[in-house]
A and B are shown apart, each in its own frame.
Chain A
Amino acid sequence: MMFSLPLFKQSVRSNCVLWGAMTSVLSVLCAQFAALDMTQNLLFLIFYGMMTTILPGVYVLVTANKLIAGQVDRGSMAYVLSTPIKRTSVVFTQMVFLIGSLVGMFGVMTLVHLGVNQAKPLSLATAMGMGAAGGNEAMAAAVTGDLTSKMILQVNLSALVVCIAMAAVCFAFSGIFSSSKYSIGLSGAFVGVTVLANMLAMFGSMGVSGLDKFKYLTICSFYDYKSVLLSGSEWIVKLIFPALIAAAAFTAGSLVFKKKDLPL
């Protein structure tokens, strides 16, 4: 049996507070950016461009550590592993929880956005940031029509895959290290660099020369909402990379956790 229901329940119980908080904040911010006239042209630039990686980034940083390394470090993993459960099942169940909780988080937020968009449609020109500092006027002028539900789903899917890749890297550190200190330290550095470089790269794309190079430092560059808004297909191709990173990181974390000595 690869999946352990009791362990899944335990993970839900110990991580639901942070999940709930992050999901609420994301949903409220999303509704606010999408509904208010003042912020509508920043919905993609600020909310989808930054918030959808920063907030889930904080969530995966804390949660991935708690799922494995934290429990090994504290010793509470002994109670899990002194039952008839394989380490493979532990790591698999925790991975399912981590991915599942992200899917849930983006699911709730997507539903909120779909609802708001139904009530208050947004023109694609505004969505591209027409009139906002940093908005792409040339691109905005080229598009017509409103933001569709399909686009909302596609943007969220794209952000979700990148967040799963980020989660996988944190999860790998959590599986590799038996000490929270290293697991959270390296995950924190990784998430920090990822979201900061993403922000700097965004300023770069607004025309601050020199900062555009930062896009090579962050996996958030694989998340391409502009391509979605322009009805392109690049965004799908770009998702292959974070998907591969996620697969490799989850595999590495699982293999090390399976083999290593646990100080329990």
Chain B
Amino acid sequence: MPDMIRIDHLTKDYGQGRGIFGLDLSIKKGEVHGLVGTNGSGKTTTMRHLCGFISPDSGSCEINGMDCRRQSDRIMKGLGYVPGQIDFPDVGSGTNFLKLQAQYLGIKDMSYVSELTERFGIDTSAPLKRMSKGMKQKMALVAAFMSKPDVLLLDEPSTGLDPVMRDELIDLILEQKQRGATVFMSSHIFKELEDTCDTVTFIHNGKLVNTVSKRNYDPEELPKLYRLGFAGQEEYLEFKNSTAFETDSFNDKYLHLTVSVPQDRINELFAQLTGYDMRYVRYVPYSLEMYYKRVIEQGGNV
């Protein structure tokens, strides 16, 4: 598969350590790629480069072989963008806005647009300025998806959405993948990244930390995490000091700890627990979030 998006040593220095520094990234055609980072880590700056809104200090980025800054008008023919900040043109109602966007994009058949607005439950006759944050976000999503673009750049697309709509968005993203679109989305909500992304890139302070594919952060064969809550302090301490399993985290006050147990040693764990008075045993799903925390704790060196 050829690369749809290529970011090559992209650097934009805003001073005081802000910006992005030497970012390298390539996203294959048809891939759903997530971009994770804390606030101010450079997610939006990356997106702005891809949209051709800003010029890099050095390095380059291209979409479908075209330079993002110089050929942005050609790139935009097949690109949908959900900006990180949502403020609409001053055109009155939502219907006006969507009609206008359709004209910009040369869309004549509005049936997919009405399908999308229905799906998200948007009352488009409402004035844009009166819309709630979530409603505005849904309008932005419709505007980005309406042309069925080949590439979708989504900057925190689920901001302000309720859980039901968030699931709807995940379905929609998966449908785009189905029809062969390339999706690059930034987010700090791990659930939606886990549900949609083939690959996730972590950035921190404008530098790429790591790129992991789905099987690396959610493999069946990785050790599983269990949280064990003990009834008494003595037992808690005894187990803590004697266990053969790697302790992932613990809390002396609440008398619980989390152990990392390889798949084939699960019975060993329960055998050891037999004599203890337990409050609970809970399986902790291994998530992108934990992966991310670990990455950040280790100072970005994985």
A-to-B contact residues, CB < 8 Å: 4-7, 9-10, 13-14, 66, 71, 74-76, 78-86, 259, 261-264
Contacts and interface: CB of A to CB of B under 8 A. Distances in A.
B91 to A, nearest CB: 5
Summarize A's interface: helix, strand, loop or mixed: helix
B83 A10 contact: no
Contacts of A76: 87-90
Nearest to B155: A78
Interface residues of B, number: 33
B155 to A, nearest CB: 10
Given A84-B104, A261-B48, 17 more contacts: A6-B103, A13-B92, A66-B90, A78-B51, A79-B89, A79-B143, A81-B52, A81-B76, A82-B81, A84-B73, A84-B105, A84-B106, A86-B73, A259-B55, A261-B54, A263-B54, A264-B83
A14 B91 contact: yes
B189 interface: no
Contacts of B55: 259, 261
B100 interface: yes
A78 B105 CA distance: 14
B91 A10 contact: yes
A82 B76 contact: yes
B48 A80 contact: no
Interface of B: 48, 51-55, 72-74, 76-77, 79-81, 83, 85-92, 96-97, 100-101, 103-106, 143-144
Contacts of B81: 78, 82
B101 A83 contact: yes
Contacts of A264: 48, 51, 53, 83
Nearest to A82: B81
B90 A85 contact: no
A78 B92 contact: no
Nearest to A86: B73
B88 A79 contact: yes
A6 B89 CA distance: 12
B74 A84 contact: yes
A134 to B, nearest CB: 42
A75 B87 contact: yes
Contacts of B89: 10, 14, 71, 76, 79-80
Contacts of B80: 82
Contacts of A66: 90
Contacts of A262: 48, 53-54
B104 A80 contact: yes
